[in-house]
Structure 1
Amino acid sequence: MRIHFIAIGGSIMHNLAINLAEQGHQVSGSDDQIVEPSKSHLLEAGLLPKELGWFPEKITDDIDAVILGMHADGENPELKKAQELGLKIYSFPEFVYEQSVDKIRVVIAGTYGKTTITSMIMHVLKKLGKPFDYLVGAQLEGFDDLLQLNPDHNLIIIEGDEYYASSVDKHSKFLEYKPNIALISGVEWDHFKAVIEEEAYYKQFEDFIRTIVPKGTLIYNKENERTRAIVERTMDIKINRHGYKLPEYSINKGVTYLNHGEDRIPLKIFGKHNLSNVAGAFTVCEWLGVKRDEFYDAIQDFKSSIRYLEFVASQNGSVVYQDFAHTPSKLRASIHAVKEQFPTQDLVTIIELNAYDSLDPHFIQEYANSMNESDFAVVFMNISLLKEKNIVLDNAIANLTQAFNHPAFRVITQVADLEVFLEGFKSTGYNLLFMSSNNYNGVNMSSFADKFLRNF
């Protein structure tokens, strides 16, 4: 096939382009901005456009498929030319479905946990030597790419994103895949990231369930109230339904164990969210024919994905974790997980807040008492963002202090001041949890951990 990518520089788009070229397809593409690592990957594959921009003359009637990325809007000149010529135009999820229509499609969805569950399933299948294709939204340990499509594989594991497929396709991405097996980890409307109204967001997941193929299987977190309500609204369709819940577990000397009868399976992860994710991943693997003992053996060395309660460093009994989270509910859950894992040690929690979202007066009160399990609570914000939004620093500090309502609370707005705080903290007997949905303003977490741990 001859395939052209409009907005080839996207994370998934460039991975798909390279994969298709490796299969022998004739691939071309355009973009008006390509950054690393996409740029180097495309250059190495011989697919980097010679110049940036949009070039309608690249769109000719011998193109078999045009794949449109989210970065390209509805007025894109290459898209307009493709529409004029009547070419077949796909969003990337539509194209992935077409390439996997004869495969068993497993789609993992949910507001939270979908990346972790997807990576757990992939980890187990890889360790057991079972071949499969995959599509994920983040770089996972043990996998070089975000996507693999192999015509010889009969199984694909897909992380199902609930947001729009493309600028001209306002359907959710996960509605395109038509799964044989679908999992919903939990549904929670996050107004910090919301792009659609709350009820419309929930309706997407109901629609997702209705895309499961006849006699297919829905696996869902039955402990999540919103998910149960959504599932109950789809009882008219004929599919298998399998609910899962938090498994029994125990903690001994900082190690979490799954309890199965008299057996204790040690894990490298911890926290109720992660353990619930294990239960979901196990249920999917069981439907794929993986035996219980095989799963338990393979999951023991799984490490956290995308910074969810990820170990950074330890020294003299103190441990540093980083976490990808910023909402009040995730903040409470992660702090509780660390305190439950290390009940005799005090905890310092630092959360980086985005001034554009989290200082909105309508939302800030939801953080009330959310850090109460921490012994020391720090909110870190980039002062430049405060200035851009014309927020008076003293007012911001006062509002945050009142909202969090923590006896040992402080706000830090400069990276240098945060480093001074860590360097001056006597870490003996304390653990550190650093939470953010950003990139820590470029701070190296290993360096931060070193500053904290060397003060004992």
Structure 2
Amino acid sequence: MNVHFIAIGGAAMHNLALALHNKGYQVTGSDDTIFEPSKSRLEAKGLLPEAFGWFPEKISENLDAIVLGMHAKEDNPELLKAQELGLKIYSYPEFLYEQSKHKTRVVIGGSHGKTTITSMILHVMHYHDRDVDYMVGAQLEGFDVMVKLTEENDFIVLEGDEYLSSPIDRRPKFHLYKPNIALLSGIAWDHINVFPTYENYVEQFSIFIDSIVNGGSINYNVEDAEVKRVVEASENTIRKIPYQTPDYTVENGETLLETPEGPLPIEVFGKHNLNNLAGAKWICQHMGIDEDDFYEAIATFKGASKRLEKIAEGSNSVAYKDFAHSPSKVEATANAVKEQYQNRKLVACLELHTYSSLNAEFLKEYKGALNAADVAVVFYSPHAVEIKKLDAVSHEQIANAFQRDDLVIYTNPDDFKDFLFSQNFDNKALLLMSSGNYGGLDFEAVKGLIG
């Protein structure tokens, strides 16, 4: 097959391009800019476009399929040419479904925990030499690519994102996969730019549940009231199997999971991650891994990239960075680090970086999110607010939103950096939460703060 990618440089798109190249397809692509690591990874396989930009002349009737990325616009010259020629145009999730319609599709959905649960499942499968196809949103230890597609594997494990499919397909990605086996980890309002009301956002998960094939199954986090309500209200003819956080203890900075064979030391920690683990265990059992084998494998799971990732550790200090940005994720992550290091002061820093988090209306959702921190710091860039064409956000609005009188707020990257590098981290835990980089913070230099 000849497949052309419009906007090949995206994190998801370039991984799909690599997967198809590895499968023996002829792959071409275009983009107006490509950043690392996508650029080097595409170049290594000979897939990097010779020049950046959009070139309608690349689009011909010789192409079997076009994959259209979210970065492209509706008036993209290559897209217009493909439409004019009547070529088959797929969104990213549509193409994944096309590649997996004869497989058993396992789809992990939820506002939070998707990447971690998918990563846990893949880690367990890899540990036991069970080959499966997959698409996951983070780079995993022991895996070369984030998308794998084969002809022969029976299972495909898909991270089910609720964001839009493409510029010309406004359906959430996870509506297109038609799972045989599904999981729903949690529902907490996100993507306010696409789903302006909470009700509209929740409705997407109802549609997801109803998209599960007849006779399929869903495992759902029964501790999340909204998840419980939505799953149990569905009239789809599927098996509904609840899961909840397993028993565990924390001793001297180590989490011990209670198992039938006794306490098991594990690398991940925090109530939310133990809850994720319970969901992953169910899915692995559906895929033929028994309980003992799951525990043996999960004990060696260190976490997904950028998800509560330990970046430095000293004799009595530690630093983590985490992708957390939505209110529920921020609260769960801060609580997890505080619980793991109960005898240390927690310095928690959050960058408000996404469209939702910088929206004045949405800010109130952060109430109490940093309560677990002994020192709570919020950084945001007024320039980022301007770029996103949002109303200006004031210090006062942020302070009111988090409901903490002692909240430290920075808008200048240098001021934030000066604060951070003036701290003594003896007997402290540092937590840096962001989907950005605090205006250019050098994380390697941060590691030097932890002695």
**TM-score past 0.5 threshold:** yes
3-state SS of 1:40 partner: helix
3-state SS of 1:441 partner: coil
User: Does the 8 Å contact 2:190/2:356 carry over to 1?
Assistant: no
Q: Residues 370 and 178 from structure 1, CA distance in 2 versus in 1: closer, same or farther, beyond 3 angstroms? A: closer
Partner of 2:122: 122
User: How far, CA to CA, are the matches of 2:219 and 2:300 in structure 1?
Assistant: 24
* Larger mean Cα displacement after TM superposition, 418-427 or 248-257: 418-427
- Give a deviation string over 1:120-150, Cα, whole Å, max 9, x none: 0001100110001111223223222121111
Aligned AA (1:307): K
User: Does the 8 Å contact 2:120/2:301 carry over to 1?
Assistant: yes
- Please report the TM-score for the alignment, with normalisation by the length of structure 1: 0.90
* Counterparts of residues 68-107 of structure 1 (less than 5 Å): 68-107=68-107
- Please report the TM-score for the alignment, with normalisation by the length of structure 2: 0.91
Q: 1:417 aligns with which of 412, 415, 418?
A: 415
- After superposition, the CA RMSD in angstroms is 2.6
3-state SS of 2:204 partner: helix
1:186 Cα deviation from its structure 2 partner: 0.9
Partner of 1:109: 109
Unaligned runs of 5+ in 2: none
Partner of 2:290: 291
The answer to whether 1:233 aligns with 2:233 is yes
User: Does the 8 Å contact 2:358/2:390 carry over to 1?
Assistant: no
1:387 Cα deviation from its structure 2 partner: 8.2
User: Does the 8 Å contact 1:359/1:396 carry over to 2?
Assistant: no
Partner of 2:433: 435
User: How far, CA to CA, are the matches of 1:426 and 1:450 in structure 2?
Assistant: 12
Partner of 1:169: 169
* Larger mean Cα displacement after TM superposition, 202-211 or 411-420: 411-420
User: How far, CA to CA, are the matches of 2:41 and 2:13 in structure 1?
Assistant: 12
Report the number of matched residues: 451
User: Does the 8 Å contact 2:359/2:391 carry over to 1?
Assistant: no
* Counterparts of residues 52-451 of structure 1 (less than 5 Å): 52-190=52-190, 194-234=194-234, 236-261=235-260, 263-354=262-353, 358=357, 360-382=359-381, 384-385=383-384, 396-406=394-404, 408-451=406-449
* Identical-pair percentage: 47
1:80 Cα deviation from its structure 2 partner: 2.5
3-state SS of 1:74 partner: coil
User: How far, CA to CA, are the matches of 2:192 and 2:85 in structure 1?
Assistant: 41
User: How far, CA to CA, are the matches of 1:188 and 1:87 in structure 2?
Assistant: 38
User: How far, CA to CA, are the matches of 1:373 and 1:92 in structure 2?
Assistant: 39
User: How far, CA to CA, are the matches of 1:397 and 1:167 in structure 2?
Assistant: 35
Aligned AA (1:123): H
Q: Residues 4 and 387 from structure 1, CA distance in 2 versus in 1: closer, same or farther, beyond 3 angstroms? A: closer
Partner of 1:23: 23
User: Does the 8 Å contact 1:419/1:448 carry over to 2?
Assistant: no
User: How far, CA to CA, are the matches of 2:55 and 2:125 in structure 1?
Assistant: 42
- Give a deviation string over 1:376-414, Cα, whole Å, max 9, x none: 222223465578799999x93344445444454322333
3-state SS of 2:47 partner: coil
3-state SS of 2:448 partner: helix
Q: Which has the larger radius of gyration?
A: 1
Aligned AA (2:429): N
Unaligned runs of 5+ in 1: none
3-state SS of 1:124 partner: helix
* Larger mean Cα displacement after TM superposition, 331-340 or 160-169: 331-340
Q: Residues 412 and 4 from structure 1, CA distance in 2 versus in 1: closer, same or farther, beyond 3 angstroms? A: closer
Q: Residues 75 and 269 from structure 1, CA distance in 2 versus in 1: closer, same or farther, beyond 3 angstroms? A: same
